[in-house]
Amino acid sequence: MTDIKQPPSKTRAIWRPVASTVVGVAVLVGAGWWWTHPDALPSAYGASVEADPRPYRTGVVWTAELTAPGHFPSEGVLTLRSVDVRLDERHETEATIEVLRCTAIATDDGGHLSVGFGDERPSAKYDCIPAVDGTLMGGQDQLVAVLTPEVPGIYVLRSATISYRLDRSGLWRRGTDSTRLHAAVTYS
């Protein structure tokens, strides 16, 4: 008796290229998502602080920490593209917000002293510069918002959206991360 070979099924012949295409598209979509979502900031990062009410005077400032030292890559460099700080929309208050890149100060015990929250601009010892497009950030840098109210009122910082590009150690990936905040101060 002779074995009769049957031709390959037409269904099988059609599904192979379709399956290969679907797998290829899935890999490309996954790689594209990975490339555009480097997540340089921890997703759980956020801060909450209520400052004591303070008298309103022209030029009075309040400083709020947007990120802490150690939240940016410890290896390599991150280049800022933009930082957008949002005030709570429920309050009809206006303020000028300046974002700074400050460097934490190393302490004798191996820790670091960050800018934090306060009622004055960060001192010169923190080596602060405006956080604009092209600003480089390393592991001991932090972002700080300096709020200058334009009228008396309640000012609540709600979020900061940070767009950046990683260097060679991060494969030059670009991303955008947001921090959640509840940093409130009242000027009366």
Beta-strand (E) ranges in the chain?
46-50, 62-65, 78-87, 95-103, 105-106, 112-113, 129-130, 136-137, 141-149, 153-166, 174-187
Q: Which amino acid is at 94?
A: E
Q: What is the pLDDT of residue 45?
A: 55
H or E, element range at 30 = helix 10-36
| Side-chain half-sphere CA neighbours of 36 within 13 A | 5
pLDDT beneath 50: ranges in the chain: none
d(CA 102, CA 116): 11
**Domains of the chain, with CATH numbers?**
39-187 (2.60.40)
Say if strands 153-166 and 129-130 run parallel, antiparallel, or are unpaired: unpaired
* Model confidence pTM above 0.85: no
Q: What is the pLDDT of residue 117?
A: 84
Q: Which two tokens stand for residue 90?
A: 């429920």
141-188, pLDDT tens digit by residue? 889 999 988 888 888 888 888 888 888 766 778 888 888 888 888 888
